[in-house]
Amino acid sequence: MQAVHGAMANFRLALIQLHVSAIKSENLQRACGLVREASAKGAKVVALPECFNSPYGTKYFKEYAEKIPGESTQKLSEVAKECSIYLVGGSIPEEDCGKLYNTCAVFGPDGAMLAKHRKVHLFDINVPGKIQFKESETLSPGNSFSMFDTPYCKVGLGICYDIRFAEMAQVYGQKGCQLLIYPGAFNLTTGPAHWELLQRGRAVDNQVYVATVSPARDEKASYVAWGHSTVVNPWGEVIAKAGAEETVLYTDIDLKKLAEIRQQIPILSQKRCDLYGIEMKK
């Protein structure tokens, strides 16, 4: 069982359920304003939603794409440093060597980039009569796991569709992550069906905290996000949940509780590695 460091056993997490418009500069300005507000209310780790600087859709990715570092990530770096927080920059469309990625950049209290997660599993689905979407029409997949350290705990990153892949969360658990953060924009078909279920599954299977950060719902958008940014504890309980509108969701993450749960139900040490295994290949 991992030791929990005295005063660092608790920290405040803020999830920014941003209303995203078609104007990039406005999205950036409002995101940074809400980051400052969250920091003023004691948040030490702050997360933005998937595609926070642009509308979500294959037709928008190329138009809004940027290099990393670039305009959007520069702003995130500056506000993380100004507020002295860990900032999980949701995701933005990233352009690199002629390819586009759905990418989350994380910045530390000194403004340095700590991680860059490119969405590993692309959202290609077809539910007849309800929703069809194919990210792979324009995006390329990332090829790596992404973790970063804080004075509180190690954090693992995924983006939206990544949450459906239990193996990814298990690898993060094996590597010592105690909080998994998934910026994500589920929709009005998959949201009510699976959004909370998947988070609770990832949390209880790996005895970790799971946080998801959605954009606010905009009924007029071409892709309507479900909203309902959520935090689930390692017992599988939903401890915070937003509605559909723009809001900042605050939760105190209690790592002592995580340690207690792992002691009470010690599944992590009871795994039958002689019978099965999940491994990180790269």
The answer to whether 102 touches 93, Cβ cutoff 8 Å, is: yes
Q: List, for the chain, all residue ranges whose pLDDT scores fall below the cut of 70.
A: 1-7
Pick the catalytic residue from 51, 119, 177, 241.
119
Pairing status of strand 99-107 against strand 113-118: antiparallel
pLDDT in tens, 47-73: 999 999 999 999 999 999 999 999 999
Token pair for 166: 């239990």
Whether pTM > 0.85 for this model: the answer is: yes
Residues 6+ apart with CB under 8 A from 101: 93, 94, 118, 119, 139, 140, 141, 142
Residue 3: its pLDDT value, please?
Answer: 47
Pick the catalytic residue from 32, 104, 160, 177.
160
Pick the catalytic residue from 50, 94, 196, 246.
50
Instruction: Tell me the backbone φ, ψ of residue 273, rounded to 5 degrees.
Output: -70, -10
Residue 8: its pLDDT value, please?
Answer: 78
3-state secondary structure of 270: helix
- Name the helix (H) or strand (E) containing 250: strand 247-254
pLDDT in tens, 152-173: 999 999 999 999 999 999 999 9
160 assigned to active site? yes
119 assigned to active site? yes
Rounded to the nearest 10 degrees, the angle between the axes of helix 24-40 and helix 71-83 is 10
The mean predicted confidence, pLDDT, of the chain is 96
Residue 75: its pLDDT value, please?
Answer: 98
